Amino acid sequence: MQIESFFENFLNKESIFLDKNVLLSSYIPEDILYREEQLQEVANILAPALRTEKPSTLFIYGKTGTGKTLSVKHILKSLGEIAFKNKVPLKPIYLNCKLKRVADTEYRLISQLIKEFGQDVPSTGLPTDEIYSIFYKLLDQEKTVVLLVLDEIDQLTKKIGDEILYNLTRINSELKNSQICLIGISNNLIFSENLDPRVRSSLSEEELIFPPYNAIQIQEILRERSKKAFKSEVVELGVIEKCAAYSARDHGDARRAIDLLRVAGEIAERSGSSLIKIEHLDDAEKKVETDKIINAVNNQPKQFQGVLYSILLISPQKKMFYTGEIYEVYKNICKQTKFNILTQRRVSDILAELDMLGIINAKIISKGRYGRTREVSLSIEESVIIKIKEIIEKSLHIS
DNA sequence: AGGTATTCACATGAAACTATTCTCTGAGTTAGG
DNA sequence: TAACTCAGAGAATAGTTTCATGTGAATACCTGT
């Protein structure tokens, strides 16, 4: 009965959203604000591809949420359309190297490329050279210019080294018909510094930096999006300003700002409000953070959760604790749960990863005569801690 | 007092190992002609 | 004889272990005053 009336209400109530897709990260707007210069630059560099000449390899740097991916995708799209219209054999390919199990290893990257050409290769079992030669053959069948965009390329080289990049640049000299042009996108500004010199010189012929947006620009971007995403007049005054301020505070991450606005909208709608108010935004910020963390915890292996659990166990007693203490508690937990005990070496790595995820705060300090260690503290709120604890207890079957 | 050498408790790196998943190959087996 | 089955060899990958080396500053130990 109650449920029924709830659904009735839900149907009758007007949504405050006009088109929620506009606020998703997959959305590519028609105009990209404040990026005219960069777009033009990228276009200039890639344009020769339309005459089936090989464009210079391009590297794009910039922090997260500065419109790198968006701009490149935009250009690829229009480039592809023009090429199609004029029957230019141009093949734009976009790959995100960070996606787990898609393009995060040499093998998978190449096999993904082969898939783009419409052939399927097994996900494992073949030697890497094999898929390289399949790729070569496929590529050289007919004259094409391939524009290969590797997003988050820094993650790729961090994980498996820069050999692939070398191989990819070498492909050109082996092919008769086709050309391949690399476009790398990196969050890390000093990415190319720890690259093999051979790779670096042949790779970064052109470089482009996307500066962060400032607060006013983010406001404008948010206004533009919210015009399309929400019905008119539903966003209360000051919400957009505050939303922009939130993300301009660290480095002007537009994606985060848009995310925040969307979640605020969802919260407002769920609470039955016809307006998006500042308090919804505050809730949204909390929710975005906790969701991110909970998601991260869920996706980690068991041992990982075990280490985190030991930290959660110590945390009520102390504010700061060291690797050694955590390891002791962790060993006890392993005994209880009949898990095999990992070495301290590994636990040390796991702690570093937890730090990266922002779940803990780890600082390496030297206590002089008494050694060198990580000084760890939890960097999440009480309510989140409890939630995580429950999740882990469930997944590790701790009573 | 001031300077240097030690020393602790890990951090960090590289390589090698393990278990799992998957392919390919070729020998052995089966069913149909 | 062609089709099928199935074990064994070889790969890729994630998660670890092993071994080796690095490291920052509080202390211990000198030294000369």
Q: What is the 3-state secondary structure (H, E, C) of A35-74?
A: CHHHHHHHHHHHHHHHHCCCCCCEEEECCCCCCHHHHHHH
Q: Which nucleotides on strand B sit less than 7 A from a protein beta carbon?
A: 6-14, 21-24
Most confident of A123-127, A162-166, A222-226, A321-325: A321-325
Q: What is the rounded distance in angstroms from the CA atom of residue A254 to the CA atom of residue A245?
A: 11
Q: How far is Cα A223 from Cα A204, in angstroms, rounded to an integer?
A: 36
Classified as helix, coil or strand, A379 is coil
CATH class (in words) of the domain with range A213-296: mainly alpha
Question: Which of helix, strand or coil describes residue A187?
Answer: coil
Nearest residue by alpha-carbon distance to C1' of C24: A366
Q: Nearest nucleotide, C1' to the C-alpha of A340?
A: C16
CB atoms within 10 A of CB A228: 14
Mean pLDDT along residues A374-393: 92
Which of helix, strand or coil describes residue A199? helix
- The whole-number average pLDDT for the span A339-349 is 95
CA A202/CA A171 separation, integer angstroms: 12
Paired residues of A318 in beta bridges: none
Calculate the angstrom distance between C1' of C21 and CA of A345: 14
Question: Long-range contacts: A239-248, Cβ < 8 Å, 24+?
Answer: A239/A264, A239/A276, A239/A277, A239/A278, A239/A280, A239/A281, A242/A278, A242/A281, A243/A218, A243/A281, A244/A215, A244/A216, A244/A218, A244/A219, A245/A215, A246/A281, A246/A285, A247/A65, A247/A218, A248/A213, A248/A214, A248/A215, A248/A218
**Strand order across the A58-61 sheet:** A90-96, A145-151, A179-186, A58-61, A206-209
Segment of A10-14, A155-159, A375-379 carrying the highest mean pLDDT: A375-379
**What percent of chain A is modeled with pLDDT above 70?**
99
Residue of A171 and A183 predicted with greater confidence:
A183
**Contact (Cβ atoms closer than 8 angstroms) between residue A136 and residue A176:** no
Cα–Cα distance, A341 to A307 (Å, whole number): 10
Q: Is the CB of A229 under 7 A from strand B?
A: no
Q: Which residue has the tokens 């790595």?
A: A349
pLDDT in tens, A86-110: 999 999 999 999 888 888 999 999 9
What confidence tens digit (pLDDT) does each residue in A115-162 have? 999 888 888 889 998 899 999 988 888 888 999 999 999 888 888 888
Q: Name the segment(s) of chain A with CATH classification 3.40.50.300.
A: 36-209
Average pLDDT of A35-41?
93
Mean pLDDT of chain A: 89
User: Any idea which architecture A36-209 has in CATH?
Assistant: 3-Layer(aba) Sandwich (3.40)
> Residue A399: what pLDDT?
63
**In chain A, which segments carry CATH 1.10.8.60?**
213-296
Q: How far apart are CA A396 and CA A303, in angstroms?
A: 9
Rounding to the nearest 10 degrees, give the CA dihedral for residues A299, A188, A252, A221.
-90
The predicted model scores a pTM of: 0.88
Q: Quick one: tokens of A112?
A: 């993904």
Give the CA angle between residues A303, A306, A307 to the nearest 5°.
95
What architecture does CATH give domain A300-396? Answer: Orthogonal Bundle (1.10)
Which of A 134-193 have CB under 7 A of nucleic chain C?
A: none
For A190-210, what is each residue's pLDDT tens digit? Answer: 887 777 888 888 777 889 999
Among A17-21, A185-189, A195-199, A322-326, name the one with the lowest average pLDDT: A195-199
Q: Which amino acid is at A113?
A: L
Distance CA A384, CA A286 (A): 10
Q: Are A267 and A360 in contact (CB under 8 A)?
A: no
A368 CA, B7 C1': Å apart: 9
* pLDDT of the residue at A1: 66
What value does the mean pLDDT take over residues A211-225? 91
CA A114 / C1′ B21 distance in Å: 21
